[in-house]
Amino acid sequence: MISIEYKDKLDEDDYNFIGLEFEKYAEKNGIKCDYKSFLFTAKEEDKTIGMLAGNTYYKEVHIGDIIVIEEYRNKHIGSKLIAQVEEFYRNKGFDNINLTTYGFQALDFYKKCGYELEFTRENKDNPKLNKHYLVKFF
């Protein structure tokens, strides 16, 4: 009998399973997946002040999460994290970096970083929940 379980946190085995299965399916279709997770951390001395997490797969870099703690916002920490990702993955065979952001988050910030709005999925009830899809090509 098949059972379905909920987990609120993924562990290393979960990430390894996802990466391996993505890889096998892509290879079966003649594509190299190369699924990998990454994390960049901004610190001041021993204090974590920001993080940027994402994944690489196929020929794309995907930024999933970026956060800077409130007292460090508007001090270019976020743009430094973005720049570090761009520098790290430049000239490594990737075509673009993509990400999503909601209306209440950081659309203008990403545009200032050079990301282009591809499209917006509108939320009928709350424009703060409009989801914006952005890309920056290498």
Per residue in 32-77, pLDDT (tens digit) is 888 888 999 999 999 999 999 999 999 999 999 999 999 999 999 9
88-110 mean pLDDT? 97
Is 104 a residue whose pLDDT tops 90?
yes
Domains of the chain: 34-137 (3.40.630.30)
pLDDT band at 15; cut points 50, 70, 90: confident
| Residue appearing with tokens 């424009």 | 127
For position 133, what pLDDT does the model report? 98
Q: For residue range 107-131, what is the model confidence (pLDDT) as tens digits?
A: 999 999 999 999 999 999 999 999 9
What is the model's pTM? 0.85
Residue 19: is its pLDDT beyond 90? no
